[in-house]
Structure 1
Amino acid sequence: MSRTTTPPAEIAPVAALLLGRVRELSVRMACRIRSEVGYYGSDGQVPFEELCASCRRNAELVFGQLADDRGADMSPARETGRARALLGAPLGELLHAYRVGSELLWSELAAEARTTAGVTTDTFVALAAWWMNEGLAVAAAEAYREAASALLLQRERERSVLVEALFTGLLTDSTTLWEAAGVLGLPTEGPYVVVAARVPAPGREALPGVEARLLTERARSAWRLLPDLQVGVVTAHDPGGEGAVLRALGRFPGARVGVSPPYGALRETPRALRLARLALEGLRGDAAGVARFDDGPVSLLVAAAPEEGGRIAREVFARVLDLPDDERSRLLETLEGWYTAGGSTSRAAALLYCHRNTVRYRLRRLEELTGRSLADPRAVADLAVALRALRLLPPPHRA
């Protein structure tokens, strides 16, 4: 901070006298700071010797400027600010310590000045103006903020690397996973879910502020921004935690989000990411929404062997995929409704808002096109796997 005032010359002899007592003053200052500022209350945060040394450097700076108008070297204050930021000291506590120390120095200076010849009321006014602009606390605060910002960036980079390591499976040792969970602020045991959201453009978040929003639902999370996706590991501990996470994700306008099933151990994160991606692919068209991966056996089977699942879908539904879009969609939706209804034509008709005879007609049409009878359990299984593959995997090319 640049000085806009100069100290009154008649105060120089007083400052020189106090400069000779700076060792004793710095110990008194450290004791007062320790008694009045909670952060400095024990050696656990800042050792007393270190606090005394810091107080002495700052006192020498102030009295040195007053005694012989030395340059305003703010490096002691800046060093203190940086050191406290790296230790995680609250900025308010740092500024409180400077206020306590400044009050002690001012009271000592004023007491000596009152008995010094040539010091008048105007001297104190000028001294007060200089004191306000001297800027030790401001310098310390600026250095604190700079160091805190750099530290935050470093920690964010570390978090980002650890999240990527979780998603790529580089972390497998239980001790390493436990340490990673600690750095990321995640519990060491699940359940967790993985979230994959399509970004609107490279470098832009699909879910801005998602970590803070999930914290309001008592769900901790760690995120990584990829060129095409924003991905995160989210805890779902509380009863109904997964539902709360899904509701929170659904409040982001325009977002397209896939969510994995819950899983119990962090080492399973790469598999969960694959399932979250598949759930995201299941969102057809451009509509926004949140899709949770269906963790039934058929879905998991398709997810485990996507290439084989795609081959089965193309083989079973070859003639269906050649139909016009509207007809193909109606037939596949009817088959899915029939599975959802447990094989009941009447219940499927209610789900699809059509007559049961319409459902029967469409199912017969599917049987003709696929060459598989819904009365044959093996054919029912083939169709279920093929249908799930169509829903989970990217659309296959038509013949």
Structure 2
Amino acid sequence: MKQPLRDVRSYRLPAEVIDPLRQGLPEVAVQTIAAITMEVPAYAEAFAGELGHKIEKAVQAALGTFLNLVSRPGADPGTPLAAALEAAYALGRGEARSGRSLDALLAAYRVGARVSWRELAAISVGIGQPAATIADFAELVFAYIDELSAASVAGHADELAASGRIRLRHLQELAQALVAGEPPLVVQAAAEQAEWTPPQTLTAIMLPERSARWVIDLLDPRTLQLAEAVPDLPGMTVLLVPDPQGASRPHLTRLLSGHSAIIGPARPWPEAKGSLDRVIRVHQLHPPAAGAVVDTEDHLAGVVVTADPGALADLRARALAPLAGERGAAAAKLVETLRSWLLHHGRREDVAAELFVHPQTVRYRMARLRELYGDKLRDPQWVLALTIALALPES
């Protein structure tokens, strides 16, 4: 069974073992740096020039701390190690801030442990230390490097977690600025702070929050998410998706199938609010059925016609004024027939098919409408007004 490494904090070596090692530290540091530079390519450039000299001093200091730790009598055994662990923790955080993984750093620790032990052991052998002492010393060296490695891993993880939370907050602030319609300079600054690479366009999608959690991992990683973006629609989430237009839009529709989503138009990314405004407007007109996907591009006419509800009501009242004398049910059938007649350009068979009536019924109703409207049904301006007024069934 493999024995655990000895606690480097509690072990002590006599001065006659430590003193020759301390004198050889500068050369040990040089050899360690040379090996790391050769075997860990990620650090080859970093160790060059003036920075390399600083790193050499840092390695020498770390080894010196180790020798102080295993040679000091009594006192608090944790004190000499605390500074080294703090430096290793800071090194791990620095690697994370530089965007590097731990692979290179841990490889450097492994190489450093091997080479520093080889060089220090050579010194010990040279001064005639017994094999048992050298074996103990080897165990202590590797235990020390393990402690430093663990501290760097913790620092790297903490930095990633902290920077991840900070970036997430910045991304939320960017999304909020976009849907609030902030000026381009404001949203550009927010994008830079969030380290977010802007696409050419953004498309707003509104869907239930539970669906967003599943869908977002399948979208462009730059997708922005904003929960509760529409106060009147609790439980709904807004996604701002980069460049889902052209050939990619049908793919997006398929991806959202089953998620009760509304897809807005693509807009230049600083103008994403326009896409969300369209989504909200279409939701008011055509909220998606359970699991359905609504594309706002399919409802442009409805959006335009209902843009000014007051004006539409006035236009409808004026256009239908000739029917004022008709009874309720009869008037409703005439309006229904007139709307279909306008949309089908007077094709009687098509009107009859849409209304599920006999073509003669259509003929009779249109005769009555011509009596009521007279020449107005041949007047382009009146035809335009009637078409707009009746474009959507009255809710």
Which amino acid is 1:231 matched to? V
CA–CA separation in structure 2 for the residues paired with 1:359 and 1:145? 79
What is the deviation of 1:148?
Answer: 0.9
Quick check: 150-159 or 19-28, which moved more?
A: 19-28
Contact 1:14 1:112 in 2 (8 A): no
Q: Is the Cα–Cα contact under 8 Å of residues 85 and 148 in structure 1 kept in the other structure?
A: yes
Kept in 2: contact 1:54–1:76 (CA 8 A) = no
User: Deviation at 1:149?
Assistant: 0.8
Q: May I ask how many residue pairs the two structures share in their alignment?
A: 364
CA distance in 2, matches of 1:137, 1:84: 13
Q: Which has the larger radius of gyration?
A: 2
Q: Distance in 2 between matches of 1:180 and 1:166?
A: 14
TM score, norm. by length of structure 1: 0.71
- Please report the RMSD computed on the Cα atoms of aligned residues, expressed in angstroms: 4.7
Distance change in 2, residues 1:284/1:117 (3 Å)? same
2:261 corresponding residue in structure 1: 257
5+ residue gaps in structure 1? 200-204
Write the distance in 1 (CA, Å) between the matches of 2:33 and 2:176: 45
Identity over aligned pairs, percent? 19
In structure 1, C-alpha distance between the alignment counterparts of 2:192 and 2:16, rounded to whole Å: 59
CA pair 168-136 structure 1, distance change in 2 beyond 3 A: same
CA distance in 2, matches of 1:58, 1:334: 91
1:43-67 deviation digits (Å, cap 9, x = unpaired): 4999424433442343233333223
Looking at structure 2, the residues matched to 243 and 287 of structure 1 have their Cα atoms a distance apart, in angstroms, of 19
Equivalent in the alignment of 2:96? 85
Q: Aligned ranges for residues 194-209 of structure 1 at < 5 Å?
A: 194-199=204-209, 205-209=210-214
Is the CA contact (8 Å cut-off) linking 2:40 and 2:104 kept in structure 1?
yes
**Partner residue in 2 for 1:5:** 7
CA spacing shift, 1:149–1:220, aligned 2, 3 Å: closer
Contact 2:178/2:272, CA 8 A, preserved across alignment: yes
- Give the AA of the match of 1:186: P
1:364–1:38 CA distance, 2 compared to 1 (3 A): farther
2: distance between equivalents of 1:88 and 1:176?
A: 23
Corresponding position of 2:139: 128
Could you tell which deviates more after superposition, 287-296 or 84-93? Answer: 287-296
Question: Which residue type is aligned with residue 278 of structure 2?
Answer: L
Q: Which residue of 2 aligns with 1:202?
A: none
> CA 1:120 to 1:27, structure 2 compared with 1: closer, same or farther past 3 Å?
closer
Q: Secondary structure at the residue paired with 1:183?
A: coil
Task: Point out where structure 2 has 5 or more consecutive residues left out of the alignment.
Answer: none
Alignment partner of 1:234 is 2:246: no
1:78-157 maps to which residues of 2 (within 5 A)?
78-117=89-128, 119-121=130-132, 124=135, 127-128=138-139, 131-132=142-143, 134-157=146-169
The residue that corresponds to 1:186 in the other structure is 198
Residue 307 of structure 1 deviates from its aligned partner by 6.3
Do 2:191 and 2:197's aligned partners in 1 also have CA atoms closer than 8 Å? no
C-alpha distance in structure 2 between counterparts of 1:85 and 1:267, whole Å:
31
Distance 2:335 2:36 in 1: 75
Q: TM-score, normalised by structure 2?
A: 0.71
Structure 1 residues 358-379: Cα deviation after superposition (integer angstroms, max 9, x where no partner): 9976x969x99xx999957666
Partner of 2:67: 63
User: CA–CA distance in 1 between the matches of 2:46 and 2:300?
Assistant: 59
In structure 1, what is the Cα distance between the partners aligned to 2:288 and 2:335? 16
SS at match of 1:261: strand
Say if 1:222 and 1:234, in contact at 8 Å, map to a contact too: yes
Where does residue 175 of structure 2 map in the other structure?
Answer: 163
What is the alpha-carbon distance in structure 1 between the residues aligned to residue 338 and residue 136 of structure 2? 90
SS state of the match for residue 230, structure 1? strand
SS at match of 2:265: coil
Paired residue for 1:275? 278
C-alpha deviations, 1:362-398, integer Å up to 9, x for none? Answer: x969x99xx999957666655655666779xxxx6xx
Q: Hey, what's the Cα distance between the residues in 2 that align with 1:44 and 1:385?
A: 74
Deviations along 1:285-304, whole A, 9 cap, x unmatched?
75122211136763452465
